[in-house]
Amino acid sequence: MSKRVLERVREATRDMHEALERRLDILSRMETLEGRKVLAERFHAFHAGVEAAIASTLQQLPDLNFEDRRRTALLAADLQALGVAPAPPASIKRAESTAEALGLLYVLEGSSLGGKVIRKQAIARGLDMDGLSFLSPYGEQTGQYWRAFLDVLDRECPEHDLSSGEAAVRGAKAGFAHAQMVLCEGLPS
């Protein structure tokens, strides 16, 4: 029996995702102004690079509203609020298919879910949120954006099409590997 692509992507990237969260330790890095600056700078480079790699493939995809999902401008505003100039995009190989691009987007969209949780925890700890609006780009509409993404993912990578599922997994793995490289540069392993 075939699995829904979301299950396949989650299973295939679980270890990568957990390793990234542990190594990045985002809440600790949010405790200082310098930490927030570095986070915003690295997230900008990461998002700008991935968005560039998937834009031509996903911009015209029905029901995705890719332009509304871009966070690069929001991150640039966060950097400006922190007094930091945006770094150049961290380049990543362009997606070779719609399914692969959706796998890369899975990493970005999943971070909006995680960002909302992180933001809530940070506020509970009394941490300064200046320059970190990118953590919750959709606000109260986060769940709605996630469900819309999943609908497109299911439509473009149906259970019976194993090759599109493999491409989505490949894209998500590339996205997590790229995140590890860009977001964790210079951090202890």
Question: Three-state SS string across 129-147, please?
Answer: CCCCHHHCCCHHHHHHHHH
What CATH number is given to the structural domain containing 87? 1.20.910.10
- Read off the pLDDT of each residue in 145-169 and give the average, rounded to a whole number: 95
**Residue 188 included in any domain:** no
Residue 9 maps to a domain: yes
Region for residue 93 given its phi and psi (left: phi exceeds 0; alpha: psi -120 to 50; beta: otherwise): beta
Is 81 contained in some domain? yes
In a domain, 171, yes or no: yes
Mean pLDDT of 120-149: 94
Tell me the two tokens of residue 22. Answer: 């542990």
Distance CA 15, CA 188 (A): 18
Residue 2: pLDDT above 90? Answer: no
Does residue 89 lie in a domain region? yes
Q: Tell me how many degrees the CA angle 6-97-67 measures, rounded to the nearest 5.
A: 80
- Residue range(s) defining the domain that contains residue 135: 5-183
Residue 15 lies in a domain: yes
pLDDT averaged over the chain? 94
Task: Please write the tens of the pLDDT for every residue from 35-47.
Answer: 999 999 999 999 9
DSSP string, 19-54: HHHHHH-HHHHTTSHHHHHHHHHHHHHHHHHHHHHH
Count of residues in the chain: 189
Whether this model's pTM surpasses 0.85: yes
Average pLDDT over residues 15-21: 97
Residue 157 is classified by DSSP as: S
Residue 147 lies in a domain: yes
Q: In the chain, how many domains are there?
A: 1
Burial 58-72 (b: 16+ CB within 10 A, else e): beebeebebeebbbb
What is the reported pLDDT for 1? 41
SS (H, E, C) 71-126: CHHHHHHHHHHHCCCCCCCCCCCCCCCHHHHHHHHHHHHHHHHHHHHHHHHHHHCC
Confidence of residue 61 (pLDDT cuts 50, 70, 90): very high
